[in-house]
Structures are given as C-alpha cells and as structure tokens.
C-alpha cells in the first residue's frame, strides 16, 4: 500500500518562509494526484487551503501557495504568522476514487 509522506514537524520564524512537502513511499507526485492541502488547529475542523496542486480555496491569503517541487507536492507559506501554527495535511488521489492523507506536519512558529 502506498504511503503518503510528510515531515512530522517543522519550525519557522515569524515573518519567515517555509515549504512543507508531500511525497510518496514509491513514485513521484504529479498533478495527476490532484494534491490538496488542509490546515487544522487543535479542536477545530480542517480548513481547505489549496486544491489541484496550486488553486487557493476561497478566502485563503496569497501567503499560501502550492506547487510541485521535484517529485513532491509542496505547500509554501511566506510571511509566517503566529496564527499559522497548525498541523498541515496533504491529500493525494490514488485513482479509481481512492484518496490517501499524509500523516500531517505540525508547524511551529517561533
């Protein structure tokens, strides 16, 4: 079974830029995996940030951007703010209606 990989944790300074990645245990992520990204703070439902690699969801600031970097999907946050401190999940489409979430990256802003 294919595993979707994310960094377990990451740290960024306020105002800094961070890139989180989403890969596969076997193979490369491409647009054909329709990568999407979700932000979740403790006790809250997830919030959609990015879908279809690089399309921002309604109301998401342009500090958040998605791309393919090498063989992985990537979420870049520029000008990190304290309230960006959250867990970020990627979701990949495996074909035939199947989806798999990554394990999530806990982002600390300090």
Three-state secondary-structure class, residue 33: helix
| Residue 67 burial (CB count, 10 A) | 14
Shortest reach from residue 56's CB to another protein, in Å: 11
Q: How far is the CB of 13 from another protein (least distance, A)?
A: 26
Minimum CB distance to another protein, residue 15 (Å): 28
Of 91 and 109, CB closest to another protein: 91
Contact indicator for 36, 91 with CB cutoff of 8 Å: yes
Smaller CB distance to another protein: residue 70 or 97?
Answer: 97
Any bridge partners for residue 23, and if so which?
5
- What residues make contact with another protein under the rule CB under 8 A? 34, 36, 38, 40, 45-48, 51-52, 57, 87, 89, 91, 93, 95-104
Is residue 39 helix, strand or coil? strand
Tokens of 19: 């890139």
To another protein, the closest distance from the beta carbon of 77 in angstroms equals 19
């Amino acid at each position: 079974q294919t595993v979707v990989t994310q960094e377990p944790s990451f740290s960024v300074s306020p105002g800094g830029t961070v890139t989180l990645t989403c890969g596969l245990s076997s193979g490369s992520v491409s647009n054909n995996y329709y990568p999407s990204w979700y932000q979740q703070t403790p006790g809250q439902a997830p919030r959609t940030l990015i879908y279809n690699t690089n399309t921002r969801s309604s109301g998401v600031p342009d500090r958040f951007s998605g791309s393919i970097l090498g063989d992985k999907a990537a979420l870049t946050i520029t000008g990190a703010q304290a309230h960006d401190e959250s867990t970020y999940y990627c979701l990949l489409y495996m074909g035939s209606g199947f989806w798999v979430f990554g394990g999530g990256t806990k982002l600390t802003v300090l």
